[in-house]
A and B are shown apart, each in its own frame.
Chain A
Amino acid sequence: MKKMVSIFVLVFALLVFSSTMNAQATSETNFSGVVGSGARAFGMGGAFIAIADDATAASWNPGGLGQLERPEFSFVLRNQVYNYIFPAKSTHSEFTGPQDFSGTSASFDFASFTYPFRIGSFKLVPQISYQRGVSFDVDNVASDVRFRSEFYEPSLRTDIRFEGLFMYESVFSGGFDTITLSLGSKLFKGVNVGFSVNFWMNGYEGKEYTSMMGEVSIVGYNISENIHFEYTHTKSFDIAGINFNAGLLVELFEGVKIGAVYRSGFDADISYKNTVIGQSIGANFNPVTIEQRQYSGSTTLEWPMTWGVGLSVLPEDKLTFSVDYTRTYWSNAIIRNYNNAETDERQLDVYFPTLTPTNAPAYARQLDTEQLRFGLEYIYMADKIIIPFRLGLFTDSQFYRDAAGEEIMFIGITGGVGVKWGPISVDVALIYETGKYMESNVAYSSSTFDEFKIYVSTIFSL
């Protein structure tokens, strides 16, 4: 009985909290390698492929490096606040009380050094940079959530009811980082090209903790019992690999530029460790381990390819409009021979990061993602100070599906402002992204995702 209940509880926790993996990664914008960094770019909605003319250029389009003239340092910090509201109802469950995860994270997002130089009259612009390509910094807590759940157990030919309180906490740190070596140049009139080599490294680690306390009843047998279960899932995931970017930026005529960027897919070496410990807590609070699994290993992750195009228009020098489109082939992102401690599925090819098996039905498979970005920058010039104002909009399709197997689309709005005085510029960007989707086929089972990010960049020109 206890073992059956414990299995139920674990499955229940997975059903309710499987989307925490998505919330944890927040939006697809975190799962990038597809977007760059910098408050100026994000203030313009991230529509920077056809601009890419500052020290963050290589992260958006290495072709833009050829426009830089002076040595520049840049630093970017990111702070993030998000809120995920899970549905009040799912297929088997109902919730009352606080139904939201919220968390914050702050990280050092990007740094670079660029040094343009000439060989004769030929200009080359190399850059070395660091970027937190995918951040896994999360600190989610949901506590004192009252729930009621009921399902039919065929072996007992009756319903099982579970009623109680749960608490969930997820704390992870780290991310996939890249060290990038880039080289750009102006090839001939109006045409800039650039290349980057990205060295992927590091990873994340952390744990998820679930606690459930309440009463379980086997309805047909008139049996009920108080239970208290705790589950701790510890994970670590490290990545190593090399890929490259190629970029092109062309000035069609004065004030109009188009850009294109290609980021190659690559086979990343992965080493991982997952541990699940399930414990039953007795009346004297003494824990008894009822379940324990640990998997670790090395495998390969097929990181997907990305391409993007952009257009920028300057009706006059103080005003810029830009638009970008980017596509990432997440439907091809597969980890081979992965052992999933959560589901006890061994040596399975699964999609990353949803961990959906590749042999799942078509309507459940991971999706390619697309982003459409619009940006605007207006520059106000005082005597010696330049003050830019920025606005942006973007759509952000997700790699996971809703309950009906449909694509999920988030939208975002951005704003930014900066100040440039002499060689120093400081920019701030605010990004708000939101989305809503069906977690299950039950009415009122939509989840809402809200994320608020702040980027602060400093660029110093020598």
Chain B
Amino acid sequence: MSGEKIIGKKIKIIVTALTIFAVFGSVLYADSWYNYYEDGQGDIENKQWTASIEKLKKAIDEKPVPKLKAKTSGLRFIDYTPYYYLGYAYYSLGKHTEAKRAFDTAVRYQIVSRKSSLYTHMSKMLADCNVKLSPKPVSKPAVTKPSESRNAQLIKSYLTRGDNLAAGGSYAAALREYQKAKSLIEKSGEETSSLRPLNGKIQNAGNIMRKNELLASANTYYRSRKYSQADNVIEQLLMIDPGNPDATSLRRRIRDEAARASTARTTPSTSTSLPARAGAEEVSVSRLLKEADSLHKQGELFEAKEKYEAVSLLKPNDRSVERKLDSINYTISIRSINSGVSQYFEGDFERSKNNLQSALDALANQRKYSKKLMIINQFLAAVYINEYYLTGGGNLQLMNKAKGYVSEVYRLNPEFAIEENYFSPKIVQVFSDGSAR
């Protein structure tokens, strides 16, 4: 066969192969997860929400687990956070149920929490979804006489809203509503007779908030094995509310643990059994460990942590137990952070503060958690600033506390810049002053 014919034959083979390839490929084509993901991100930038949802779902089908610095091809790595973007697209379309589902998945994977800019945005959207999806309180329609002033209507609506929030346990938000009603009453000089019960409600909400704060603080100390401080806080609580069952039960546990810890320090135990707790029989270390592992697997983290702590008292140098405790503390702290941030955006500052403080204690200022610590300190500062202004701006202790948290943020990251879109100008100002300091 001549050279020309050979080349001609080869060209025919190549053209045939390319044709088959093009036909086959056009029918069965499927792109890579990173192409779908980046196209989805592009659609979000162009506000093409529906198109972005379709592509992000395809990306998730191919690669369901999000990851920071996920490898695409060659030496290219991208931050893969599809559930955040999926939730963002749903949220923008007003589909809060789907958005919440996506955000909850993102929170569960704990990837978005490592990117503070996305995390704050997502937390705000998630909080908004929670508010919009929570069952609306049934309130009696306000009965107004034809001659009732608009002021009176406003006062009534604040009071009703405050009562509903208090009934739901959101005492800080209830307190704000009551304060608004009180402010209007005092300005108008009308209905002064309703001031006494209102003051009672304000005092009641304040007391409950104070008790919750003390109880949370005592729990935090207890979990951190600071038994003496925990006991002191319980003492304060019982002075406000003697016989409070939660405080009484916690005090009993604190004293038992303190006694056990003292015993373990002074007389090293060579036996493998624990001294009996009140009403409990003796158990072996291995059984305790098994129970702890089982509780851990079931997701009962606090209960598992109690048991691991008991084991670590008997076997102080057991590295595997230490690692498990570290892991649980970390998981608890992440959940606490997520709850705390979400509650902040819902306006429930008391719970937010308790959760964030709990997370702060669990992470124990370890440098490796600096990004998490930054988020905690940032939102604790915001909570205290809000409380300072809500209580009339007279309690300088609250502002000083806030400034302390702000300083800690800048110590962890001197380049920190607060997301101004998500915080009030007053909060932004405190952070700016902190940055200048």
Q: Which B residues are within 8 Å of any A CB, using their own CB?
A: 3, 6-7, 10, 14, 17-18, 21, 24-26, 28-32, 34-35, 62-63, 67, 69-77
Contact = CB atoms under 8 A, between A and B. Distances in A.
A75 to B, nearest CB: 16
Nearest to B35: A69
B402 to A, nearest CB: 31
A185 B25 contact: yes
Interface in A52-75: 53-54, 67-69
A185 B21 contact: yes
B75 A254 contact: no
Given A193-B21, A195-B14, A195-B17, A187 B75 contact: no
Nearest to A67: B73
Given A195-B21, A254-B63, A425-B75, A317 B29 contact: no
A67 B26 CA distance: 17
Interface string A137-177: 00000000000000000000000000000000000000000
Given A68-B73, A317-B77, A188 B30 contact: yes
A53 B74 contact: yes
Nearest to A190: B30
Interface in A359-395: 379, 381, 386, 388
Contacts of B6: 267
A381 B77 contact: yes
Contacts of B25: 122, 185, 187-188, 193
A183 interface: yes
Contact of A386 (B24, B29, B75): B75
Nearest to B61: A189
**Residue of A187, A246, A379 with highest tally of chain B CB at under 10 A:** A187
Residue from B10, B14, B69, B74 having most chain A Cβ neighbours under 10 A: B74
Nearest to B6: A267
A420 interface: yes
A379 B75 CA distance: 8
Contact of A317 (B17, B62, B69): B69
Interface in A167-225: 183, 185-189, 193, 195, 197
Contacts of A122: 25-26, 29
Contacts of A186: 29-32
A284 interface: no
26 contacts: A40-B75, A54-B73, A54-B75, A68-B74, A69-B34, A69-B73, A123-B31, A183-B18, A186-B29, A186-B30, A186-B32, A187-B21, A187-B29, A188-B25, A189-B30, A195-B21, A244-B14, A267-B3, A267-B6, A269-B3, A314-B71, A317-B71, A317-B77, A381-B77, A386-B77, A461-B76
A286 interface: no
Nearest to A56: B74
B10 A244 contact: yes
Contacts of B3: 267, 269
A5 interface: no
Contacts of B29: 121-122, 186-188
Contacts of B70: 317
A106 interface: no
A77 interface: no
A242 B69 contact: no
Given A68-B74, A122-B29, 11 more contacts: A54-B75, A67-B74, A69-B35, A69-B72, A121-B31, A186-B29, A189-B62, A317-B70, A318-B71, A381-B77, A386-B75
A122 B22 CA distance: 10
Interface in A231-256: 242, 244, 246, 254
A189 to B, nearest CB: 4
Contacts of A317: 67, 69-71, 77
Interface string A399-428: 000000000000000000010100001000
Contact of B74 (A54, A185, A189): A54
Interface in A407-456: 418, 420, 425
Would you list the 4 A-B pairs with minimal beta carbon distance, nearest first?
A: A188-B28, A317-B71, A67-B73, A53-B73
A121 B18 CA distance: 18
B65 to A, nearest CB: 9
Interface string A311-330: 00010011000000000000
A70 to B, nearest CB: 8
Interface in A287-314: 314
Nearest to A423: B76
A193 B69 CA distance: 27
Contacts of B67: 317
A122 B23 CA distance: 11
Given A69-B72, A420-B75, A242 B26 contact: no
Contacts of A68: 73-74
Nearest to B62: A189
Candidate in A189, A418, A425 with the most chain B CB atoms within 10 angstroms: A189
A355 B318 CA distance: 72
A67 B32 contact: yes
A269 B2 CA distance: 12
B328 to A, nearest CB: 25
Contacts of B35: 69, 123
Choose among B26, B28, B62, B75 the residue with the greatest number of A CB atoms under 10 Å from its CB: B75
B7 to A, nearest CB: 6
A183 B15 CA distance: 12
A269 B75 CA distance: 40
B205 to A, nearest CB: 47
Contacts of B74: 53-54, 67-68, 459
Nearest to B26: A122
A189 B27 CA distance: 12
Interface in A255-277: 267, 269
B115 to A, nearest CB: 14
B70 to A, nearest CB: 6
